[in-house]
Amino acid sequence: MADNKRLNSARMGEMPEGRLLLQMAVPMMLSMLVQALYNVVDSIYVAQVSEDCLSALSLAFPAQNIMIGLGTGTGVGVSTLVSRALGRRDSEQASRVGGTAIFLSLCCWGLMALFGLFLAKPFIYSQTEIESIRGYADAYLQIVTIGSLFVYLEICVERLLQSTGLTKLSMWTQMIGAVTNIILDPIFIFGWLGLPAMGTAGAAVATVIGQAVGAGVGFLFHVRRNTELPIPLRAIRPYGRIIREIYAIGFPSILMMCIGSATNYLMNIILIGFTSTAVAVYGAYFKIQSFFFMPVFGINNGLIPIIGYNYGARRRERIYRSFRYGVLYASCFMLLGFTLFQLVPGTLLGMFHPSAAMLAIGVPALRRISVHFLLAGFCIVAGSTCQALDRSIYSFFVSLLRQLVALIPAAWLLSRTGDVNMVWWAFPIAELMSLAASAFFLRRSFRQMEETLRLPDDR
């Protein structure tokens, strides 16, 4: 066990940054690509039922995004605190953080289960008056929120594995859950093997079962392999100070996801004013773009513990070099996405069995929206770097500016032209504002980091 700790410390603090980031991030990038695949598979299957089913998943997405945001935001705080504790060689504190993370996962599930029971239907009904879409969306959303226990446990254990450098095991956790979902999707959606055809409800059931399998596998990996971070049962309880520290780091991420959900909710309302097909296009875009954004988020997940560890170890040059590699790798994925969206948008939309009307709206939509990919890589990595340096509030301000201050007002103003194709230009406009704000706050974060590291180490 001691040898494992020394090896991990040597890797996090001494391995060349570019190679270390790839070693940390590639497993997470692969697992997130699989995650993106099964999200797309969900939509491909339900699109075969009807375009209304695809629109229904788009209407459910804002609430589902909040559900995921609670878990990932908590996970950002957990992974950062665990990495810092291990960087200080404080294994007892790291274990307390892990126990608190499990407790918070149960709390998040309770909140979303209450939402599913009492608020899912009003949430869906506020976005559309089309009864068929309402029914499909409500059925899907109630199942994924009430069954969200497993997604929170899965996210929790993935972050615990990532925090100690066991990114390959984290990858297998996500991949096994995702593959389970992919296999079960057509069985429940179309009613194979003698089961009734359940449509969007079947997609939700497959999702919950896949998350349960992923959570189970993840905890098995943690117990057997994560010896650097033991979590005894007595540690699974609320530690008030740790909870405050987790959310001091992670709450801005949760707020950013909530802002993203509010943005999607308002965009759905703007687009459905034209036609429900525009909502289906918007939903298809989000599924396709995940193939390029998910790997970038995988890079971020690898970058945060590296920066957190070296911040705790007071190694500033490794922080700068890690950041530069993060921007380089993220920008490469964004450039690939931009190229494909420009050259073959019809082929990308073809996965969703589009009607002629959906292609007419979707092809120009993908080309115009993807312009913002060229700027997004830097903005995403800058935000994660601020989080790892205890400046999560900066990421929150950038997200608020990009989405609610820029994107939605721009989309609404462009919708007044009466041409739905004009609305998509709101995305590049918003990203330009995000770029300026990200550069400003990143510079402040680095300056404040320098001031902190000049102070005496009181460990």
| Whole-Å CA distances, 230 to 3, 96, 165, 227 | 15, 9, 14, 6
Rounded CA gap, 224 and 231, in Å? Answer: 12
Nearest Cα neighbor of 309 from 47, 52, 84, 58 is: 84
The residue length of the chain stands at 459
Which tokens belong to 23? 């070693």
- Tell me, rounded to whole angstroms, the distance of Cα 67 from its chain centroid: 11
Can you give the pLDDT at residue 443?
94
Contact between residue 293 and residue 384 where contact means Cβ atoms under 8 Å apart: no
Q: Are 277 and 357 in contact (CB under 8 A)?
A: yes
Q: Which residues contact 250 (CB under 8 A, 6 or more apart)?
A: 73, 74, 75, 76, 77, 78, 80, 387, 392
What six digits make up the tokens of 220? 């098995």
SS3 at position 49: helix
pLDDT in tens, 350-374: 999 999 999 999 999 999 999 999 9
Distance (Å, whole) CA 47 – CA 256: 29
- d(Cα 405, Cα 415) in Å, to the nearest integer? 16
C-alpha dihedral, 434 to 440 to 443 to 449, nearest 10°: -90
Mean pLDDT of the chain: 89
Structure tokens at 256: 């950013």
The confidence score (pLDDT) of residue 15 equals 75
Q: How confident is the model at residue 262 (pLDDT cuts 50, 70, 90)?
A: very high
Give the C-alpha separation, 160 to 97, whole Å. 9
Q: Above 70 in pLDDT, residue 225? A: yes
8 pLDDT more than 60: no
Tell me, what's the pLDDT at 1?
Answer: 46
pLDDT for 105 beyond 50 = yes
Q: How confident is the model at residue 265 (pLDDT cuts 50, 70, 90)?
A: very high
Q: Could you tell me if 150 and 212 are in contact, meaning their C-beta atoms sit under 8 angstroms apart?
A: yes
Q: How far apart are CA 144 and CA 444, in angstroms?
A: 40
Please tell me the predicted confidence (pLDDT) of residue 65. 87
Choice between 430 and 87, residue whose per-residue pLDDT is larger: 430
- What region does 210 belong to: left with phi over 0, alpha with psi -120 to 50, or beta? alpha
More confident residue, 453 or 109: 109
Question: Model-level pTM?
Answer: 0.83
How large is the average pLDDT for residues 181-187? 93
pLDDT band at 14 (very low <50, low <70, confident <90, very high): low
Residue 459 scores a pLDDT above 80: no
Span 138-159, pLDDT tens digits: 999 999 999 999 999 999 999 9
Say how far apart CA 444 and CA 450 lie, in whole Å.
Answer: 10
Cβ-proximal residues to 323 (8 Å cutoff; 6+ apart), any chain: 303, 307, 381, 385
**Residue 12 one-letter amino acid:** M
**Residue matched to tokens 């093997």:** 193
What pLDDT, on a 0 to 100 scale, did the predictor assign at position 13? 62
Please give the C-alpha separations between residue 95 and each of 75, 90, 362, 393, 448, in angstroms, as whole numbers.
15, 9, 49, 26, 29
